[in-house]
Structures are given as C-alpha cells and as structure tokens.
Amino acid sequence: MKTRIAVLVSGGGTNLQALLDAEAAGKIPHGEIAMVISNVPGAYALTRAKQAGVPAAVIDRKACGSLAEFEEKLQAILELDGIDMIILAGFLCILSENFTKKWSNRILNIHPSLIPAFCGAGFYGLRVHAAALTRGVKLTGATVHLVNGVPDGGPILLQKAVEVLPGDTPEILQRRVMEQAEWVLLPQAAELWAEKLASAQ
C-alpha cells in the first residue's frame, strides 16, 4: 500500500512541482500524491496539479469565518480522500495545535533556513532570506521538519546547507535555496516518511 499524500499550497507551487517531478521519475515509490489543496483561490499551484492530473480542491481561508471552520473543511476532504500524510509546500496558514495533534507525525513542512535560525512566527518567504542577509550569515539552507503546535518547532528530518554569496539579494538567495536545497530535500523527505508510514500500516 502506498502512502496517500495531500500537498497543501498557497502560491506558485514550485515545491509541489518538485514533488510531482520526483514522483513521475519514480523517486517516491512508497508515496502517491493523491490531492492538492489550496487555501488561496487561483493559486498557480492548482494549475500545476491539473496539468499533472492530480485532484485539487480550494478552501478559501478568507471566506471561512474562523480557523476552526477552515480546519473542519480541510479535515473532511482529507478523510474523504483517505489521506495518510500531509506536506506543507509553501502553505501560508498556521494550523492549530488541535489540528496538528490529530495529524501527529504525519505533517511535513519545508522551511527556507537552517532551523533554528530565522524560523517561527512571521518568518516566511523572502522575510527569511532578508533576515539571513541582514544578519550576515555565510551559510543558510532549508529544513524539512515534522509539524507540531509550535511554528517551525517540530523534529527535524532533513537539512541542506546553501552558501550565501556576495551581492545576494533576498530574491537571488531565495532562488538558490529553492534550487539547491528545497527541491532536493522535499522529495527525499516525502519518500523517507511515506516509506515509514507505509511499513507501519
């Protein structure tokens, strides 16, 4: 039995694309990307899902009266599709402790820094890379971790370092971290965890 994976997205879906490409190349043999869910209507990630023939759903976070209502709808879709594992791939919505407890050790997130540096509430997207440049670090990178009730606080699964170069802007650094770390690590972590869950079934 393959581990059924739902990928949660909010934007362009470059990490989703890395997962789809890895699956197509046979690099996630124990997992199957069964669902893509966006909290933002019109996110380009939904187009990527469609092009790959993966079912997609939208739960508009802004249209939901509360986080609880949003998570209720999310839970219903996940249950309906028999999802075993969730990957947050550029998903800009902090999930509640109540939800993450329900999915304990079954949610993976990719963060664009070497945790514990430049992580936690408020650190996402270009903000992370801007903070790294302001601090003057020589190495940054990406981290895949399990998700718990603390933003970026769950156990670390994989990390990869990326060099910071003279003349880097947040945008240039973001691109290098994606290409050299995020797009490499996320498929590796997906297979690692899918295999673990599949063997436990």
Active site residues: 111
For residue 18, which of 172, 186, 137 has the smallest C-alpha distance? 186
Burial of 200: CB neighbours in 10 Å, binned 0-12, 13-18, 19+: exposed
Burial of 171: CB neighbours in 10 Å, binned 0-12, 13-18, 19+: exposed
For residue 200, which of 75, 106, 86, 98 has the smallest C-alpha distance? 106
CA dihedral 5, 171, 138, 131 (to 10 degrees): -90
